[in-house]
């Protein structure tokens, strides 16, 4: 049976923390593919999210050279607040006879009890949580699988903050993403 990983997030912007997460989980679980799914409006984070088109474009650039990676615009096209359950139902119907894995970093665990239809989510996809610096991988709910990956202390929030302070983010994101941010002058205004 085919195995597909789904990595949801704001990707505001995509950075090496996301890419290492996707690559290490793909390798460890022998996934055939990882699909990056940028949210439109996330239910739990509302601070200054860049238009979906930019975030989608940056993912495209970041994953262009990895044949196992793909990006989906289901949430950015659907508009409104993005709920993982809606996306998983759609992907479930699109990929028949496929085992679905929902990938996330350990910071997501603190929000999980608040997610819409979390029980249904766990029935559609196997939830895989990887360590992220600053967020413990202990006391994980029983139905969730954990995976130890190379820790990379990078967050999109820090990247946005550095840009505002006119500091370098050069080696936090792939070169093409760096160039795209510069060209479009992203995150430099308040």
Does residue number 58 form part of the binding site for ligand ATP (CB under 6 A)? Answer: no
Contact 95, 35 (CB under 8 A): no
* Distance in angstroms (rounded) separating the CA atoms of residues 54 and 60: 10
Which helix (DSSP H) or strand (DSSP E) does residue 178 occupy? helix 175-183
CB of 2 to ligand ATP, least distance (A): 22
The sign one gets for the Cα dihedral 96, 78, 103, 122 is negative
Q: Which of residues 83-142 bind ligand ATP (CB under 6 A)?
A: 104-105, 107-108, 130, 132
Among 12, 40, 76, 82, binds ligand ATP (CB under 6 A): 12
The angle formed by the CA atoms of residues 65, 67 and 72, to the nearest 5 degrees, is: 95
Q: Which stretch binds ligand ATP (CB under 6 A): 16-24, 25-33, 82-90, 182-190?
A: 16-24
174 binds ligand ATP (CB under 6 A): no
| Contact residues for 173 (Cβ-Cβ < 8 A; gap 6+) | 13, 14, 15, 16, 58, 62, 159, 181
Q: Which is nearer to ligand ATP, 105 or 174 (CB)?
A: 105
- Residue 55 lies near ligand ATP (rule: CB under 6 A): no
Residues in touch with ligand ATP (CB under 6 A) = 9-12, 17-18, 21, 104-105, 107-108, 130, 132, 152, 154-157
């Amino acid at each position: 049976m085919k195995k597909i990983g789904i990595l949801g997030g704001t990707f505001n912007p995509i950075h090496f923390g996301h890419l290492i997460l996707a690559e290490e989980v793909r390798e460890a679980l022998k996934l055939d593919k990882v699909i990056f799914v940028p949210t439109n409006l996330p239910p739990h984070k509302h601070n200054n999210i860049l238009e979906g088109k930019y975030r989608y474009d940056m993912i495209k650039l970041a994953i262009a050279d990895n044949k196992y990676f793909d990006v989906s615009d289901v949430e950015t096209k659907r508009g409104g607040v993005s709920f993982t359950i809606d996306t998983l139902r759609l992907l479930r119907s699109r990929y028949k006879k496929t085992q679905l894995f929902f990938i996330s970093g350990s910071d997501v665990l603190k929000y999980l009890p608040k997610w819409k239809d979390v029980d249904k989510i766990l029935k559609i996809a196997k939830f895989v949580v990887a360590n992220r610096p600053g967020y413990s991988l202990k006391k994980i709910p029983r139905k969730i699988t954990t995976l130890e990956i190379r820790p990379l202390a990078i967050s999109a929030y820090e990247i946005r903050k550095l840009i505002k302070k006119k500091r370098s983010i050069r080696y936090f994101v792939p070169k093409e993403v760096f160039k795209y941010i510069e060209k479009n002058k992203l995150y430099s205004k308040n």
